[in-house]
Amino acid sequence: MPNPHPSALRERAVRAYEAGEGSYEAIAEQFEVSLSSLLRWVTQVRLTGDVSPRPRGGGWRSPVDSGVLEQVIADQPDATCEELRRAYNRRVGRGATVSRSAIVRALHRLGFVLKKNARARVRWTGPTSVGNGPRS
């Protein structure tokens, strides 16, 4: 999401419209902003008296309770992420299951560093030519 327009630009555009220097379309074109932005700014000034950008909303709240996860880690300090997920889901009960990726993100937020699984197959290609052979 792009950054909001500066408050100084907003104030100048709204002042120009309120002073009757032109229509919404003309002022929006003059200040090179969209018509809908100018409409929102004028409405915001009329309602609140301020043109400063509103705080950004949205976001997503993690379903993982960090306190419960820390208890699970204390009980099973050497568990894999999948084992932590199963233990976490058992501890919180039915209806509140979380995914492995949610556990991984929660571990990163808590400051844990994840080690790659040593049991995974190593992807390695052997030498493609003989190193000490005669040169042609």
User: Would you list the domain boundaries of the chain?
Assistant: 7-48, 66-109
Tell me what percent of the residues of the chain surpass a pLDDT of 90. Answer: 60
Give percent helix, percent strand, percent coil of the chain, each to the nearest 5: 50, 0, 50
Distance of CA 89 to the CA centre of its chain: 24
Q: Would you say residue 135 has pLDDT above 80?
A: no
More confident residue, 61 or 94: 61
pLDDT digits (tens, 9 = 90+) for 73-87: 999 988 888 999 999
Rounded distance between C-alpha atoms, residue 88 and residue 31, angstroms = 54
Express each pLDDT in 5-40 by its tens digit.
999 999 999 999 999 999 999 999 999 999 999 999
Q: What average pLDDT is seen over the chain? A: 86
8 A C-beta contact, residue 68 and residue 92: yes
Residues belonging to the chain: 136
pLDDT at 86: 93
Does this model's pTM top 0.75?
no
Cβ atoms of 99 and 85 within 8 Å: the answer is yes
Residue 126 pLDDT > 80: no
